[in-house]
Chain A
Amino acid sequence: MIELKRITKVFNMGKPNEFAAINGVSLFIESNKVTVFKGPSGSGKTTLLSIIGCMTRPTSGRIMLADREVTSLPERFLTGIRRKTFGFIFQQFNLIKGITALENVMLPAYPMGETYYPLKKRALETLDMFNISNKALSKVEWLSGGETQRIAIARALINNPSVIIADEPTAHLDTKLSHEFMDIIGRLKGEGKTILIASHDPIVYESKVIDRVANIRDGIIEE
């Protein structure tokens, strides 16, 4: 369960170009549900996901994560929460080039200090869940769009997070791959994950796996 209480986020505060990306958003996100934040570019979707994912702090307001207030925690604790609770899927998937798919999937787990071989085994199992373990040793720049997408999802899942955050995940995918992505989201929901997606793609917000669509415009939720 995630609860946002009167969250605001102001960029360039006190400067002539000051602007509020989020304007007093209060929201209750249930566990094991798929929530889509739908809105045009610049509406504040990415900022809201960043705040929920403990990547950036709100200017004001509070975030409750499973009844724990996380807004005031020091950076080190926020990083810990981010590692264990959230898995991120970025708009361009943001895999690191020059290393293999397997190494990309293992990256979020490295700071946890887990020994190499059990981690590698787990990463291969995660890749296998998406039928892509045969590409484990391929460099990511050699992979197709669909393969890249599945590697990015596997990376988000490596630390077994309870919440998956995806920012415009279908923005660079064709229709077939976008439907495939939503199928995977359905599977993850079936496994008990809470999923938050920012998107203005109808394939996403009209998908039957979606439990809730929150419209966001000018930093305000309009449900």
Chain B
Amino acid sequence: MTVQRVVAGRHDLIPIRYIDKIKGIRGIGLIKGRLWGYYFDPIAGANYTLIVPDDFQYGQGDIAIGKGISRSRLAYEGDIMLFMAYDGALVNFKIRNVLSSESELVSSDLILISEKDFRRLFGISKEYATDLTVKVRNQREVNTITRKITEIYPDTRVITKNEILRTYDTVFNWRGGIVIVIMSGAVMAFIVFAWDKASGLSAEEKGEIGILKAIGWETSDVILMKFWEGAVVSVTSFIAGIILAYFHVFFASSSLFEPVLKGWSVLYPEFKLTPFIDPYQVSTLFFLTVVPYTVATIIPSWRAAIIDPDTGMRIS
């Protein structure tokens, strides 16, 4: 869980000394102060996320930056990056590493920095941290420990891991929602199309069936032909759709949905998806599209094919 200090309803820096009392609560494992924050870069017009990792492997004056920052600032390993500290002084940092593109989805706008540099940049004294992280050994004690912490320090709020997950869910759910809206449109279009097919044939199609009956086709011949016609149309469309989707996702990096699906920061991550086809999904899609469409084409054909063959004689 995360413990944050709240002043006037806003998240504020938390005194490190809070750790001592909280540590005394039974059931608490590891507890430590965490340093993180945001830095607005007027050059890139983007907010960077700065984090002090526990195991920062470089020294003072060194940073590691995400791919997105590297791209937007044209800054690479070995370059110097200039930051303006809280007091207006300019501070130089040497880029020791550009974080691997494999983690870009979460690290595009990230800067890893040493504790000392972080405190210097933002003017945070050693007595404070951004927040505290608390490990609780027993999941069932989370609520009790939360209550105890807020009893000891009424100016804190405790955010449990589940609550964070729930927040992420909410943040990403609206993206899922947009995709659902687009997909609903596509599904509705498909239903209207299939319904149009199932609700009847055009006069021209009926005429054609009448002619076929008149020249010696049986009802079963007509239905078989219409079945193959529907099957060829729907299977071809299905395969074309799968191929287009494959190219769109794995070669064009899902360019149509990219702004919605990838991250929420200003610096959009750039990454290639690893091609993967789930046979279960493909077969589900197949049975939800090809089969209903094919059946939808057969029913009206059957209804038209049971007409008397002499109708063909009377088509004008």
Contacts and interface: CB of A to CB of B under 8 A. Distances in A.
B215 A92 contact: no
A55 B308 contact: yes
A107 B215 contact: yes
Nearest to A155: B215
Interface string A84-107: 000010111010110000000001
B308 A108 contact: no
Interface residues of B, number: 19
Contacts, number: 63
A201 to B, nearest CB: 17
Main secondary structure of the interface of B (DSSP, over half): helix
Contacts of A55: 214, 308-310, 312-313
Interface string B293-316: 000000000000000111011111
27 contacts: A46-B310, A46-B313, A49-B313, A50-B310, A50-B313, A55-B214, A55-B312, A55-B313, A56-B308, A79-B217, A79-B309, A82-B216, A83-B216, A88-B214, A88-B312, A88-B313, A90-B211, A90-B312, A90-B313, A90-B315, A92-B315, A94-B211, A94-B312, A107-B212, A107-B217, A108-B216, A110-B217
Given A90-B313, A94-B312, A111-B218, 18 more contacts: A46-B313, A46-B314, A55-B308, A55-B313, A56-B309, A76-B218, A79-B216, A79-B218, A79-B309, A82-B309, A90-B211, A90-B315, A91-B316, A92-B316, A107-B215, A107-B217, A108-B216, A110-B217
Q: Identify the interface centre among B215, B221, B309, B314: most chain A CB within 10 Å of its CB.
A: B215
Nearest to A96: B208
A167 B215 CA distance: 13
Nearest to A49: B313
Contacts of A97: 204
Interface string A149-179: 0000001000100000001000000000000
Nearest to B225: A110
Contacts of B312: 55, 88, 90, 94
Interface of A: 46-47, 49-50, 53, 55-56, 75-76, 79, 82-83, 88, 90-92, 94, 96-97, 107-108, 110-111, 155, 159, 167
Nearest to B314: A46
B259 to A, nearest CB: 43
A21 to B, nearest CB: 11
Contacts of B313: 46, 49-50, 55, 88, 90-91, 167
A90 B216 contact: no
A49 B214 CA distance: 12
A55 B312 CA distance: 9
Q: Identify the interface centre among B216, B310, B316: most chain A CB within 10 Å of its CB.
A: B216
A108 B218 CA distance: 11
Interface string B211-234: 110111110010000000000000
Nearest to B221: A111
A79 B312 CA distance: 14
